[in-house]
Structure 1
Amino acid sequence: MDKKEIFKRALISFMESVLEGKGKNLEKKFEIFENKIVEALNELMQSFKLNLEPSDLKTIDTLWDELQKEVELAKPYAERIRIVYSTINKMEQSKSQTDIISSLLEGANKLLSRVCIFVIKENNFVGWYSKGFTGSSDITDTSIRLVIVPITSNTVLKDVAESGLTFIGTPADHPENWILLNRFGGKRPQEIIAIPMQIKNKIMAVFYGDQVPTSNKIDCKEELEILTKFASMAIDLLPIKEKVLAKEKTKEITEVPPLPEVEKAVSTTPVVPIISKEEEEWHKSAKRLAKVLVSDIMLYHAEEVEIGRREGNIYKRLKDVIERSKETFRERVKPQVLEKVDYLYEELVKTVCEGDHNLLKGYKEQ
């Protein structure tokens, strides 16, 4: 009997039962229908089995097992896509160079055990920021800035900085990688990866990662390349982004509709604004410039900053650099702003001194 016909007859039978009872004892009638449905399903199952050869059933079981295995294998890739998407979203929303790098390393650390950024400074690769080193190495995430590798040493850092290409392989592929790994301490990685970071059309830094303390292979090269390249682009476009946001903010202010006329009972004495809209833009511009100047100090003088924090003499150690930044700041900021607030000093205390203004002793006297 055709499968559709079986269901059709069962349904007609149920409707006839209901009509005969004229709506009475529906619960009992439904039980009858339920039993008929079960019978129909059993008949369908038997019909299906009769139409299949034993070999077909075995093939179906095999295919099902293979499908389950493929689903399990795909799960890690789905998770990686989620990590990449989430990290890119965070970097896109970041408003500073430090935030972008922090988001990059946070996302990369979900793919690898240890990750860090080395900046190229003069004749050295200098550790800048890291994630995953604390507890698995001789250094911590905060002391990565003490790791310094000569730019002339035949290491993976030199290779990547010169070639502009990603490297993934064993530490033995570069004869002087031991210099870098000895600085890290801890267990030696089985495999390492390094990716160049090009900013302003020049390779300014190198991303490094490995799987210490585990011996897992690195199988996320493409994901790490996407994140690193996006971070480089985000840093490169940061000044442009700030200008666009400032223009949009100004446009929003000018487009605000005028307030409705106040009733005469209310005082009509005009309220004089503390500062004009033009001066407000001067202040915003000064804040942006201060952030850029301080970001450059953190990028190119990270080692001195770290030492200055420990020894309590950041201004003394970085006096020439800070004074050059101060000179640039005063040349480009309106006198009306400088008379009221020193945004450069505030940004130095916040970012370089981590809130401790005593580390800038001597700044105000200059």
Structure 2
Amino acid sequence: MAGRITWRRGWGVLTPGVLATALVLTGCGGGGDGVPPPRASEGADGGEWSAGPGSGGPTWNPSEDAGNGEGNGGSDAGHGGNGGSDTGNGGNGNGGNGGGRKKTELGWLPVGPQVPNTDTAINTPADAYDQLQDLRCADTRETVNRYGDGSKSWNLVSGLVYACLASKGDTALWAEAGRLYDSLGGPGFAQGDCRESAAYRTLNQAIGWVRQNPRGTVTFRPSRGGTTACRSGITEVDPGPEATLSPGDSFSVSGTWPDEITRATLRIGGSTVLELTREFSGCCHGAGAVFRLPESFAGAGQADLTLIYAGGTLTKPGVFRVEGTQQPSPVPPAPSPAPSASPSPTESSSPSESS
């Protein structure tokens, strides 16, 4: 509020504390002629006392730099806020560190790929991973509340749920995410499970950053296409390499592949290729499939299996031996060479011509 501070008579000796009480803001001059003003000096607030001719008393004159009042704090980037004061003239300052909020974007859960789920029920930590991988925080929280049993696998999913919700604005939930993270006791429990290992790395990175930047803001970036938590590959074929299969026999395959298997072939001895009948094929992490050999084929030997899906193939050599019932077609004999031509009698030289 604009105005001036005047000196009133009759206060006696004033201490600095009493002086603050004795000063009265007025909009016009008052009494006070003949009372010496306080010594002019720069105050802690930036300004000085002065007594103009004919004035009602000494007047406090704020300096030009006194406009830095309470303003918005500076950000971690070093940009200060705009100060303000009762004089109405705010100063622009270059603020210090610590006043603002850091922001970061962290990678979210990579694609599993998804677990096979033939009955469409979502009731395991692996199912919840797939649900949460799409950043469906609220849906996954309902899954945890319904099926979670307090195991470390469920606590890992639950910690990620709270981190997911906290990143969407409910920052108080970081504390619960941190508590669940601490209950895991490190990544050791997830060894051997590629999806849980990826989930732990995601939560570990988020909690670590938030604890170093308690006023910071985290957002999660959806996983890029092609990045998976688990490598694709054929894990097992049953029966194994010591077995011999005949026409019409079936065998099973387990492993991880990023999409539905559309075709499967066997190559025998590096040349003969058999198209297999697909009896069953699941997708995608820890998946299984069953294939059947043709009812009739020729050839025998160790077989290499190839699974074909949209965008790629998986091959495992020497899965087992096969023996066909058809005998290979006999190789026709090579044609005998044509007899060499002998000279005709007319081409022979007569004795008289040679003499």
TM-score interval, normalised by the smaller of the two chains: under 0.3
- Give the TM-score normalised by the residue count of structure 2: 0.25
Q: Which has the larger radius of gyration?
A: 2
Name the structure where strand makes up a greater proportion of residues.
2
Name the structure where helix makes up a greater proportion of residues.
1
- Give the TM-score normalised by the residue count of structure 1: 0.24
